[in-house]
Chains A and B, each alone.
Chain A
């Protein structure tokens, strides 16, 4: 099976989808001729023409708003917001228009769009190229939110998202575009070409939305993570020697609560890890759900490890970003509680 980077896998997902369905169109800032600033759409315009893959004005609300109109017509737009940090001008269109169109029209009009956006830090992007806004989407009725952690999932989840009849926010951890990450910024990164999760099948396949994956089986504590933090959690488990079960959520909404509950009931402990700021982050929702569903099985308080409640700093990003040491401390404290 060929190995691809996450960028190549995402591009392959769009390629497969555009080949299978003439209604799939791809556009966004720099997406056409240039192939996107991260090259996720490279070659698609040459292959499918300018009416299927094209550059958009620098106008995020316009990109999402026009995509909604296209979807109402019958196309399936897969659009790119260049960085998740830039989605705020489009937030109204995403949350009050795309999310509600099916509901408010009782299915008369629907909105099968995918909005891709690179998310998270770890590339020295500073405050406006590093944000993790997933909680801003999971709070909204009518949106699905996906965060892949590896090339195989990225391709399968993106194809599933494009084929989904509802609007999907597809958050791509840019720290994982070219290789996995173990949280140690000083160490060389293993490229996806040397990692088994870089194996991406050719052709069409899907990874269903709403299904989590158990990345590491264990019996002592459950770690809930997604995106880049899956690898940080794995490093922490290995470095502490704690028998942690690591669940990669993959889809935040709809959430695979059954897998989470089964694991926490088995281990009796839970640590939640995410990169976004702590307060009112998605970890708060996860913590509440674990408490509501697993209270009588818990042997320790649910712990959260997250980004600090500050804007994302440039020079101090490795102090902001949860690393194996912080996650490891949470694991030890949870085991000792």
Chain B
């Protein structure tokens, strides 16, 4: 009671700022293999501690250990490695293209490749993701053509979205990738609605909602939890905690206690945390949650603990708000290297084959880029017709838009 009468305003701060030594001592890591794997019909009340622990499969020696291991074959893991390497190479080329003025904007996945690439492989055809801007791995891992992704980034004449969306805001119903909104968290409740519709229709498809740690502060995150728990919607509620919402550290959205996963507990939603840099762990947890949803057991909240090694976007400078070497100090390592080491440990991969794969993937991405650029880039070559600007506002163009199109001379 010493300070009674003198209130102090509290603003959370990260452990360190630029110039300081990176410090992740607050990230408590459970040893790989130590977190149990409950049955999918578990009573959520009995697994409350899983909202505070971290499910990990790969240990420091590159071995897959514990009850969440053993779900993927070597071939599937090699495919997963290739997906992550492809996404990383794709990112690097597109980031460079942005610097060269070929597009206005780009957002990388550096350090987070495992989250979307591994999750995609836990879904079935027809399931629907409601992603943020940092889940392009869902498309890469589903075989969506890279050339089409680049056409969208370049807003060129072959852009399937006709130049109407920011780069990286892809849309593909066929590949289970909902149109991305620039407004944060809006898609979270939409995913729940989609899942409710699947249940109403007695379908077997499920939805996956995606959100970043910072956007969990948005009202629609909480709306989604209310609706998902109320109607036991067949949805996987994903929270990608990559530590930073542009320059704002995750403690601002989370507050000083609990975890993002713990937000599901009050709703009676099984809530798990998983090592987001561990391809095997992400896949295993995604599979568990997807199976729950498909078995009419309702939603699962999954927090992926990871680190955004790159900038938020091509417009961001992370050195202004965090130590430059912080990503090197991230205790969960690099997802590509960890899976690579695991495959070497299994005897199905080598440094030589990895280097060869890197070269092959780079060639493939460069070839795709050349093809995309043959259709134009943002400021050069072919671009969508101005006439397209007036199309698609409504199913049928109303008279006032027709008049405006005529005034525009198109």
Contact = CB atoms under 8 A, between A and B. Distances in A.
A104 B162 CA distance: 9
A102 B392 contact: yes
A127 B18 CA distance: 50
A142 B393 contact: yes
A96 B181 CA distance: 8
Contacts, number: 140
A61 B220 contact: yes
Max chain A Cβ within 10 angstroms of own Cβ: one of B190, B219, B223, B395: B190
A102 B394 contact: yes
Max chain B Cβ within 10 angstroms of own Cβ: one of A62, A68, A102, A107: A62
A205 interface: no
Contacts of A258: 399
Interface in A10-56: 25, 51-52, 56
B186 interface: yes
A59 interface: yes
B160 A65 contact: no
A114 interface: no
Interface stretch (A72-80, A186-194, A231-239, A295-303): A72-80
B178 interface: yes
Contacts of B192: 65-66, 69
B171 A104 contact: yes
Interface string B177-196: 01101010010111111111
Contact of A254 (B189, B194, B198, B398): B398
B227 A62 contact: yes
A165 interface: yes
A291 to B, nearest CB: 16
A75 B197 contact: yes
A70 interface: yes
B230 interface: yes
B230 A57 contact: yes
A105 B179 contact: yes
A254 B402 CA distance: 12
A105 to B, nearest CB: 4
A166 B401 CA distance: 15
A70 B197 contact: yes
A253 B195 CA distance: 31
Nearest to A255: B400
B227 A59 contact: yes
Nearest to B200: A51
A310 interface: no
Interface residues of A, number: 45
B181 A97 contact: yes
Interface in B123-140: 128, 130
Contacts of B301: none
Interface string A257-275: 1100000000000000000
B201 A73 contact: yes
Contact of B393 (A61, A62, A75, A103): A103
B210 to A, nearest CB: 13
B224 interface: yes
B104 interface: no
A104 B161 contact: yes
A279 B296 CA distance: 52
Contacts of B220: 61-62, 65, 93
B173 interface: yes
A234 B323 CA distance: 72
A69 B230 CA distance: 16
Contacts of A161: none
A149 to B, nearest CB: 21
A75 B181 CA distance: 21
Interface string A238-258: 000000000000000111011
B162 A106 contact: yes
A165 B396 CA distance: 9
Max chain A Cβ within 10 angstroms of own Cβ: one of B188, B200, B219: B200
A147 interface: no
B197 A166 contact: no
Nearest to A164: B395
Contacts of B285: none
Nearest to A109: B179
Interface string A131-164: 0000000000110100000000000000000001
Contacts of B179: 101, 104-105, 108-109
Interface string A93-131: 100110001111111111000000000000000000000
A67 B219 contact: no
Contact of B189 (A51, A69, A110, A257): A69
Contact of B172 (A52, A69, A108, A210): A108
Nearest to B191: A69
Nearest to B190: A69
B168 interface: no
B362 interface: no
A243 to B, nearest CB: 29
Interface of A: 25, 51-52, 56-57, 59, 61-62, 65-70, 72-75, 89, 92-93, 96-97, 101-110, 141-142, 144, 164-166, 210, 253-255, 257-258
18 contacts: A51-B200, A52-B200, A57-B227, A62-B223, A62-B224, A65-B192, A65-B223, A69-B191, A69-B194, A72-B194, A73-B128, A75-B201, A96-B186, A105-B161, A105-B173, A166-B394, A253-B398, A258-B399
3 closest Cβ pairs, A-B complex: A69-B193, A66-B193, A65-B189
Interface of B: 128, 130, 160-162, 164-165, 169, 171-173, 178-179, 181, 183, 186, 188-201, 207, 219-220, 223-224, 226-227, 230, 392-395, 398-400
Given A70-B194, A72-B194, 19 more contacts: A52-B200, A59-B223, A65-B189, A65-B220, A65-B223, A66-B192, A69-B190, A70-B193, A73-B194, A75-B197, A75-B201, A93-B189, A97-B183, A101-B179, A102-B393, A104-B181, A106-B162, A254-B398, A257-B400
